[in-house]
Amino acid sequence: MTQAPARSRPSRARHDREIIALAVPAFGALVAEPLFVLADSAIVGHLGTAQLAGLGVASALLTTAVSVFVFLAYATTAAVSRRVGADDLPSAIRQGMDGIWLALLLGAAVIAVVLPTAPFLVELFGASDTAAPYATTYLRISSLGIPAMLVVLAATGVLRGLQNTRTPLYVAVGGFVANAALNAGLVYGADLGIAGSAWGTVIAQCGMAAVYLVVVVRGARKHGASLRPDLAGIRASAQAGVPLLVRTLSLRAILMITTAVAARLGDADIAAHQIILSLWSLLAFALDAIAIAGQAIIGRYLGAGDGQGARDVCRRMVQWGIAVGTVLGVLVLVTRPAFLLLFTGDSSVKDAALPALAVVALSQPICGIVFVLDGVLMGAGDGPYLAWAMLVTLAVFTPVALLVPVFGGGLTALWAAMSLMMTVRLITLWLRTRSGRWVVTGATR
């Protein structure tokens, strides 16, 4: 009886070191990514309102297109980390190369769709007549960088699977600095206007992809892994990604429904909603960093055949999720009046946002558990269950959210519906984790 705590303490300490070593750099890389759009907006904003509006529409389209393919990172992390756990580095890197080849194929397909349809897409997103030409120009040029962006996603998954989140952090920071410098030089120095901003972003993205490819190719040569495309491997990567694609699309649908409902509540409510959504996204980065650590660590334990170790680290990461979520919730609750002053002086917007932010704050411990369990099941390669669970969540959330304008409650009720959505996710993920069916050991699932 007295020796059990002595065994658990070193185990917890080891898990904590692993989680921190992977989560902290992952958080830095996640935060660096939105800075690309922020830098573009700051530079293009000085060209004029129409140019900035065009950038906003094009960036929304590009962000949507790329976020749909985030499964390239998630599925690759799970597959590579399993093989790392099985001590088969050549196979791990080979699996990673399959993901990168898939990224290139998908990127080429996206370019083929976007280039000819850019004016239609811009019009579909409601760009004004003055902003539409700038949006079309930016979208067409930036679409050329989509293959590089998708390669970055897949290669990031490779390195995460190899238990390396530091290199993605360095590449993300370097990419942001290069993007800002190139944008300033091409927009103003070369007088290319919004086209210069797009070309600067494309060049920075290609540079990031090149760095990743150098790292992966070196690893392949070191361990004797083939770099040639393997149709069976690419097909397997695509099949593993389909359920995660369904999951991602369902989540995007939830966010779109939430924004659409907020828009129907009135100008003050939609303005407050945008402020809250920006904060919610920032909080998600902190929690997603733990989930990324979970993907890499869980996959490695299962690949090594250590099911009990995977359960133990899952339990510890849930504790981390609760703790971080609680801290974030308290911070939001305490600082929400000061936080709102950064965005608005409109009393009606603040009145709408304050109680809704309290709901967001109270839901953060739930969000912490959800993000962790999501990462655990991704690391276990349990994509089909994640897809079905998210479809169930979407089915529960949609009628509740659509009824908010009917029954009243305003933005607070809408974000209470978002909290309900996270609670449904918690229940579905907890039931799966508790069942133990995700604990499938071996180099492949």
d(CA 289, CA 285): 6
d(CA 146, CA 174): 18
Of the candidates 327, 317, 311, the residue with the CA atom closest to the CA atom of residue 294: 317
The predicted structure's pLDDT at residue 433: 96
Are 380 and 326 in contact, with CB atoms under 8 Å apart? no
| Percent of the chain predicted with pLDDT > 70 | 98
The predicted structure's pLDDT at residue 6: 41
d(CA 341, CA 43): 24
pLDDT tens for 358-388 read 999 999 999 999 999 999 999 999 999 999 9
pLDDT tens for 120-177 read 999 987 788 899 999 999 999 999 999 999 999 999 999 999 999 999 999 999 999 9
pLDDT tens for 251-293 read 999 988 998 898 888 888 888 888 888 889 889 988 999 999 9
Q: Which pTM does this prediction carry? A: 0.90
d(CA 394, CA 388): 10
